[in-house]
Chain A
Amino acid sequence: MPRCLFGLLIFLIVFEAAGALPLDAAELVKAADEARFPRGKIIFQVKVEDLIKNKKSRETVYRVLADGTGRSLVETVLPERQQGRKLLMLGNDLWFYSPDIKRPSRVSLQQKLTGEISNGDLANTDYAQDYEAFLIGEKLLGNKTVYQLKLTAKTKAATYSAIDYWIDKQTSAPVQAHFLSVSGKVLKKGFYSGLKNVMGKKRVTLLRVEDAYSEGRSSVMSYSQHKKGDYDDSVFSKESLSL
């Protein structure tokens, strides 16, 4: 009898520990993805403010359609002179459409990384799909207890080779990210904030990205107007870009 009680006690301790620290890193990243974007077909707007020494140097507004499976369409809304430019991303495949030419053109994966805020940053809704996750541990970041993870790219479609990722233990929302190059150098540092109720769940709506190489240069991405996507799968096709 005492043996049974001892066994039960051990089981309860292990079970309790597992509940307190879920060790599945992939699940953590999935939860953080949900705290960034709603699942399924969505539409949202992103305002990108480029700052030099905290002074706004440029503002661009994009409309993004994404379906959470690596397919996204980014269309420039503002400034007016760039309105109508579109970038379609289907995993590794990218097409660019410009109203000057009125013809979609295939572009190289490099294009995904161009711009202060790379095109990949705008619409990457699914880190869980693009990156392998490893849980490193827990730590205190500011006044928050966070999980520290290392994400490494599973495919070429991933925007970065690796990401150091910190997720709030309490809300499952991402707090901070360091985006790394192939050589492991930090390219950009991202800081998530602006937790708001979006489509029935608390989600981050602000991402400040600091350029690790140019001091004083940063960009703030504000996500808004999230909606369930009422569009057909054919919008994610090269042919639809010019319709």
Chain B
Amino acid sequence: MTVWGLVKQVMKSPSVFGVIILLALSPAFAQRNLKPAMEWKMDMRSDLGWHLQDAQDLAIHRHQLEFEQIWRTKKHWTFRAGGRARVDGSYAEDSRNSHGKASSGGQEISAREIFAHYQKGGFSAKLGSQTVVWGEAFNSFYADIVNPKDLRERGIGDLAQIRRPIEALNIQYIAPKWSIQGLYLPTFRPNQMPHLQSDFFPSYLSGDLHGVPAEMDLTPVLDDSPGDVGVRVQTRWEAADISFFYMSMIDRQPALDITLTGDVMNPLYIINAKHTRMSAGGLTFSWADDDVVVRAETVMYSSRAMNLRPTPADIASGRFSRIDKGSQWVGVVGFDGVLSKDWVVGVQYSEDILSGVQSSYRAERESMIGLQIAREWEKAGRLKLLFGQMGSDGSYALQPSFFIPRGRALEVGIEGVYFGGSKDSVFGSTQRANRLVLAIRGFFRG
């Protein structure tokens, strides 16, 4: 699709432009607390990257435009509407891909946050497509369970980019030292998963297909009618923030149901995505003193559906996956602080434990240690380095990035991702995604 094609598609979509014009004419809109009544934001991102091993061919050639319009009334109301257009360069042929056809390039237009927000005193109500962010740990989603995620690239990149906005009614009451939040999500949206031929599809799962062609249908199959509810209570005590949360929700992460179809000469795996209802409850904690901040969060999932390795009996009956329900506990604790010369350094340790299920595709207990180093220089730029190593299998992931400002609205930089470890390890299974990327970011405001 050409850029003009994208523009036409946006223009044909249910138009918010009429609403924009009507709102612009309304005298009710005026500057509120030094913020303009009307505001727009346009973020531009372009990435060009190469694989770091094997063929060292093109890994990414992406251009993305994200637009957001905000309107504020004189009092109480704020309206926000945003969308994203993305053109992804094609990976014409990838000889390393055992399934022949390489990942295709793609174009997509998606709605981002579109909501109405009412706030009076400590009362806040937000209705529409939005992001709701819970959690304390850096660069992770442990307690950040409300929004589905775009995991097509394994969650690499800015967390705000990875979250998928979801339709919700979000009511909150904020008192000076505590707050309570209630959520109702009438619709279901799944996590976006990497395609079978993608660099980010785990190689140990590809291996289990034994070279047989497969088709993946990620249309969600739900075991219950949509409708999630959640509640969160936060409190501030001395220098600590503590929150408790609970959600009854349909799992955003699918359990994959794999069946063998076709005949002996032309076998074909069909992979479907099953999503089941579960409950999730947990707490988050952070505490700061002069130099250090301690952060922790934990979530307990009950009745979570998981993929199990098929038994010989399953295989004999043509089922190549088993799905069972069990419990999962995840917890993370870490600390971070500013060292001399504005270096921000953080370390955190996490555990992820399954119970009630056996013979899963992953280890029953996984642990990881994470390290973050960041620094922002006045003119020279900003450096960020993320490192994670699995205690359970020794695999590791390294994500460095360095961006240099060019004027007020632009920055150029270089970033990369490097997964290491054996082919059947957590990080090593996506080694073929290792890449180095040149990037330009533009931030335009009006």
Contact = CB atoms under 8 A, between A and B. Distances in A.
Given A57-B379, A78-B408, A225 B34 contact: yes
Given A83-B443, A102-B160, A237-B176, A110 B34 contact: no
A109 B288 contact: yes
A234 B121 contact: yes
B317 interface: no
Contacts of A109: 288-291
A114 B409 contact: no
A100 B158 contact: yes
Interface string B204-247: 00000000000000000000000000000010100101000000
A116 B379 CA distance: 12
Contact of A102 (B34, B133, B443): B133
A79 B337 CA distance: 25
Interface string B113-125: 0000101111010
Given A45-B34, A106-B241, A230-B33, A80 B291 contact: no
Contacts, number: 127
Contact of A110 (B234, B338, B379): B338
B159 A101 contact: yes
Contacts of A57: 378-379
A229 to B, nearest CB: 7
Interface in B325-366: 337-338, 342
A107 B172 contact: no
Contact of B174 (A80, A229, A234): A234
A103 B32 contact: no
B158 A105 contact: no
Nearest to A71: B176
A108 interface: yes
User: Chain B binding site: helix, strand, loop or mixed by DSSP?
Assistant: strand
B73 interface: no
B371 interface: no
B199 interface: no
Interface in B113-159: 117, 119-122, 124, 126, 131, 133, 135-136, 138, 144, 158-159
A50 interface: yes
B384 to A, nearest CB: 10
Interface in A91-105: 92-94, 99-103, 105
Contacts of B289: 108-109
Interface in A171-218: none
Nearest to A243: B124
A195 to B, nearest CB: 23
B286 interface: yes
Contacts of B337: 108, 110
Contacts of B33: 43, 65, 227, 229-231
9 contacts: A80-B443, A101-B133, A103-B159, A105-B136, A105-B295, A106-B295, A108-B293, A109-B291, A156-B290
9 smallest CB-CB distances across A and B, nearest first, come from A79-B408, A110-B338, A234-B122, A103-B133, A81-B443, A80-B443, A80-B409, A106-B286, A102-B160
